[in-house]
Amino acid sequence: MLPRLTHATLLRYAGLFTWAMVGIGLAMNILFVAEFGPPRLRLAAVVLPVLVYLAFGLAFWAATRVLGPGRGYLLPLLLMLVMAGSAIGVSALTGTGLGAILMMVMAAVVPWLLPGWPGVAWMVLQHLPLVYVFMRGMEFSLLEALMQSLLYVGVSGFVYVAGLVAKQQAEAREEQRRLNAELRATRSLLADSARVGERLRISRELHDLLGHHLTALSLNLEVAGHLTEGRAQEHVRQAHTLARLLLTDVREAVSAMRGDDRIDLAAALRTLVEGVPALQVELDIASPLALDDPERAHVLLRCTQEVLTNAIRHANAGRLWLRLAREGDALRLVARDDGMGSESFTPGNGLSGMRERLRAVGGQLSVSTAPGQGFTIDIHIPLEAPA
C-alpha cells in the first residue's frame, strides 16, 4: 500500500515530473541549435539554458518544502522571483514557449506562497515579459504574442485554482485536526471534572449521612453499656467497638476519596498539542501536576488553545515551546514561539479573551515580542481564589 501523501508532497512530485518533461523539449532544442546553429553561439545555447532550467527546478523544490506556517514572507518572494526569472530565461534563451510551461508549474504553488489577489496579480504580470520574448524569438506580431501569452495565462489560471483548492483542503484538514484535538482534550478534562465531582458527592454523603448515624449509634451503645449488666453488657460493648471501627473506616474512606479528587491537567494538554501537525510543539510539564479546581484547569486549557492558534495563524511560527510548572502557590505557563515577532502589536480578540478568563480566577498575562524574536506569553494563575 502506498503511503499517504500530503498536498505539498503531491504538488512537489507532480511539478517535478512536469519540469522533467520540459527538460525533454529543452534537450531537443539544444541538440538542434548545437547541430545547425552558429558555432560562436553553441556554448551559450547549450550551457545557459541548462543552468537556468536547473535553477527553476531547485527553486520549485525549495518552494514546496516551505509551504505552510513558519515560513515568513522574504523566502517565498525570493523563490518566486527565481522561478519566474528562470522560466523567462528559458524562453528567452531557447526562443520557445518552454518557459510558459514552467510558469504553469509555478502557478500550482503561487496560492501557497502569495495567497489572495497579490498572487493572482503576480501570476498574470509574470507572463508579460513573454510577449517580448515571443516577438523577438519567434518573430510574432504584437497581437500574436499577446494572444499567445493570454493562452498561457488561461492555462496557468486553471493550475492556480487547482493549487488554491488544494491549499484550502489542507487548511480545512488541519483545522479539523485542531478541533478534534481540542475536543479530546476538553473531553478528558470534563471526564476528570465529572469523576472528581462524583467522588466529592459520594464522600459528602458518606460523611454527612453514614458518619452521622454511626456516631449516633456509637453514643447510644455507650449509654446502653452503662445501663446493662452481665452477658448483655458484654454484647453491647462488642457492638460499640464494632461501631467505632466502622466509623473509623468510613472516615478513612472519605479522606481517601477527597485525597484523590485532583484533575490531571498534563494529560489534557498532551492530548491538545498532539493534534497540531503544522507546528512543532515542545511541551515541558513539571511532574506531578494536578489541580483541585476544575475552573482553573479549564482556563489553562483554553489559554493553551489560544496560544496554539496565535502561533499558527498570526505569528507564522514553526516551533512552539510550552512550559508549565508550579511556582509556590501558583501555576505559571510560559509559551514562546519562533515566529516573526513585532515591534509593536495591538491585542486582538484572542488575547483579550485570555485576559478576561484569567481575570475571573485572579490570574495575569504578559506578552513580550521583538522583530525576529517571536512572541512570549507568560501566564500566572493562583491556585486558590484571592481573599
Residues of the chain with pLDDT below 70 are 1-5, 33-45, 68-73, 181-182, 185, 188-218, 220-223, 225-227, 229-230, 233-238, 240, 242-264, 275-278, 287-292, 315, 385-387
Which residue, among 301, 284, 330, has the nearest Cα to 188 in the 3D structure? Answer: 301
Placement of cell 553553441 in the chain: 42
Judge whether 193 lies within some domain: no
Which residue, among 123, 119, 174, 182, has the nearest Cα to 7 in the 3D structure? Answer: 174
Which residue, among 153, 164, 172, 159, has the nearest Cα to 116 in the 3D structure? Answer: 164
Domain boundary among 127, 159, 175: 175
How big is the chain by its Cα radius of gyration, in Å?
A: 35
- Tell whether 318 and 249 lie within a shared domain: no
- Tell whether 272 and 354 lie within a shared domain: yes
- Tell whether 158 and 134 lie within a shared domain: yes
- Separate counts of helices (H) and strands (E) for the chain: 13, 5
| pTM, two decimal places | 0.61
- Tell whether 267 and 251 lie within a shared domain: no
- Tell whether 304 and 231 lie within a shared domain: no
- Tell whether 251 and 274 lie within a shared domain: no
- Tell whether 358 and 215 lie within a shared domain: no
- Tell whether 233 and 314 lie within a shared domain: no
- Tell whether 244 and 270 lie within a shared domain: no
Q: Which pLDDT value is given to residue 202? A: 64
Q: Give the range of the structural domain holding residue 27, as residue numbers without chain letter.
A: 7-175
- Tell whether 245 and 267 lie within a shared domain: no
Three cell numbers, residue 49: 539554458
Q: Which pLDDT value is given to residue 1? A: 43
Q: Domains in the chain: how many in total?
A: 3
Q: Which pLDDT value is given to residue 354? A: 82
